[in-house]
Structure 1
C-alpha cells in the first residue's frame, strides 16, 4: 500500500527568526519518509487552510494559526494520522498549557492566567510571590517578539507590562513564578523515539536527563503531542518545566530527530492499516 504524506510549514508570523530552521526539520522528515516509499508533498499554511481537496494518509503540521488548525481537524476527522494533532497544537497555547502540565503531574512553576486589560485579581494570584520575581508571558502563543516574555520584580512592574500587552492587543497574560537555576532545552519524539537535553557549555547529569525525560514524556502524553520540545530550569538535582512546544526546529539534533519522527510516523501508519 502506498501512503501519502502532507507537510505543512509554520506560518512566518509564528516563527520569528526561525523560518528557515522550522522549514528544515519538516523537509528533513519528509526526505526520510520519501526514502521509505511514501509519496510526499509540502504546502504553506495558507494554501492548506484554503484547499478542500487534500486527502493524505499522514499530516505533518507545523502550522499554529486558527484557520489552519480548523482545516487540520477536518483532515484528521477524514482519517488522516497527524503528528501533531490540531488539539495537541492548541494545547500548547499558554491559556491551556499550564493545565495540561498540571494534569501530567510534572514539576512546573506556579502560575496564573490573567486578563491584560483588567486590574489584578488577588484570588487568581494565590501561590504567587510577586516580590520574588515573576515572568509575564503573552497568554496565547509562544513569544513572537522579545517583549512577549518579560521579568517583573514586583506588582508595579507586572501591571506596567500588562498595560503594554493590552496596548498591543494581547488580551491575556500568563504570570509564572521565577525559578532560579540553569535553563536547559530539551527535544523529544513520543514512543521513546528520541530525547535529548542541551545546556550551553555543560553536561547535564545523567540522573537529571532520565528524570526530565520521564516528566517531559508524561507532559507530551497529556498534551497529545508526538513531536515536541521545551525548556526547563535545573537547580541541583531538581528541575521545573517552564515551557513546552509543539514541533520545535530541533536545530541541534535535526538529523536524528527527523529519523525519529519518520519512524514514529511509519509506526502510526502501520497501526492504522
Structure 2
C-alpha cells in the first residue's frame, strides 16, 4: 500500500473549544494506524487546505471552517475520496443538522429556526416551549455561549438578541428534553460503537447503575440513519435517554475527538478508511 498517499487535515483551533489536544490526537493516531498499514500520510492544516497546498486524491479531515467546505466539495466533485465528505461536514452545521434530522424522522428535539433580529417569544409560546436550548445556527460551536440553556421564552429572546449583537444571523431554539445525557461514538459501516452516560457509575457491563436502561441496538440503528442522512462516516454525538428508555438525538458531530476511546477508535477508523479506499479504487477501475 506504499502507493496510497493520504492527506490528513487538522481541525482549526477555533473549532476545538477545550479540545485542541484531543482533536489533534485522534487524527494523529489514525494517521499512525494508516502508516502501519503501509500508507503514506501527510498532515495539513485547514489554512494549508484553503491555500491549495493539498494535492492528494485521498483526504481524511476534521475540517470545520466554512472556507474548507467548498474546497473539499470541489475535490470530491473532481473524483477525490474525502472522509468525512465536505458536503457531510457542512451538513453538521447547526441549522442544516437540525433540518436534516427533523426531515429524516430521526428522533430529535422539536426546534424552530429563526433570524436573530426577530421575535421568538410568540412562536415559543404557541408551541408551549418554555425550557429550551438556544444555539447559533450558522456554524459549528466555537464558544460555550454558542449553546445556551434558557428557562422561559423571554430569556431565549435575550440570548437571540445577544447573538444578533455578536453578528450571528441565525439561531436554532430547541425544546429541552428531560432525561439523562448519553455520549456516543461510531464509525459508519462497521459494528463498532461506544456510548456512556455523561454522569454516573459504570457497572461491569459498561452501563450505568441507577440510570435509565435503553435498547442500544435501537440507538445504533438511529445513529446509522442519521449518518446516512448527513453523509457522515466518522461521527459522535449526544442523546437524551428518558426514564422510559426513549432516545432523543440532540447533537451529531462530524469526526469528534473520541477522547474516552481514542486508542481503540483509531484502529477502527483506519480500517474503515482503507475499506473506503478499496471501494473507491474499484469504482474508478470500473469506469475505465
Sort the TM-score into its range (normalised by shorter chain).
over 0.9
Partner of 1:159: 157
> Aligned Cα RMSD in Å?
1.8
1:254 pairs with 2:266: no
Superposed CA offset, 1:210-232 (max 9, x none): 11111011101110001001000
Instruction: Please say if 1:28 is aligned against 2:29.
Output: yes
Distance of 1:179 and 1:206 partners within structure 2: 17
What TM-score, normalized to structure 1? Answer: 0.93
Where 2:67 maps in the other structure, the secondary structure is helix
Counterparts in 2 of 1:128 and 1:4: CA distance versus 1, 3 Å: farther
Secondary structure of 2:75's counterpart equals helix
Matched residues in 2 for 1:137 and 1:211: separation? 27
Distance 1:257 1:128 in 2: 41
List per-residue Cα deviations over 1:21-76 (Å, max 9, x = no partner).
10100001111110111111001100111025x33232111111122222111222
How many angstroms does 1:150 deviate by? 1.3
After superposition, give the CA deviation of every residue in 1:197-245 in whole Å (9 maximum; x if it has no partner). 1113241577522111110111011100010010000012111000111
Shift in CA distance, 260/103, structure 1 to aligned 2, threshold 3 Å: farther
Identify the residue that residue 233 of structure 1 maps to in structure 2. 240
Task: Measure, in 1, the Cα distance between the counterparts of 2:156 and 2:121.
Answer: 12
CA distance, structure 1, for counterparts of residue 214 and residue 181 of structure 2: 16
Which residue does 1:42 correspond to in 2?
Answer: 43
> What's the TM-score once normalised by structure 2's chain length?
0.88
Q: Counterpart in 2 of 1:115?
A: 115
Alpha-carbon distance between aligned partners in 1 of 2:81 and 2:145, rounded to the nearest angstrom: 36
CA contact 1:188–1:194 (8 Å) conserved in 2: yes
Give how far 1:104 is off: 3.0
CA distance in 2, matches of 1:191, 1:127: 41
- Using the alignment, how far apart are the partners of 2:164 and 2:178 within structure 1? 28
Structure 1 residue aligned with 2:136: 138
1:127–1:27 CA distance, 2 compared to 1 (3 A): farther
SS in 2 for 1:143: coil
Q: 5+ residue gaps in structure 2? A: 282-288
Pick closer, same or farther for the CA change 1:128–1:258 going to 2, 3 Å: farther
Q: Structure 1 residue 176: deviation in Å?
A: 0.3
Secondary structure of the residue that 1:66 maps to in structure 2?
A: coil
Q: 1:128 matched to which residue of 2?
A: 127
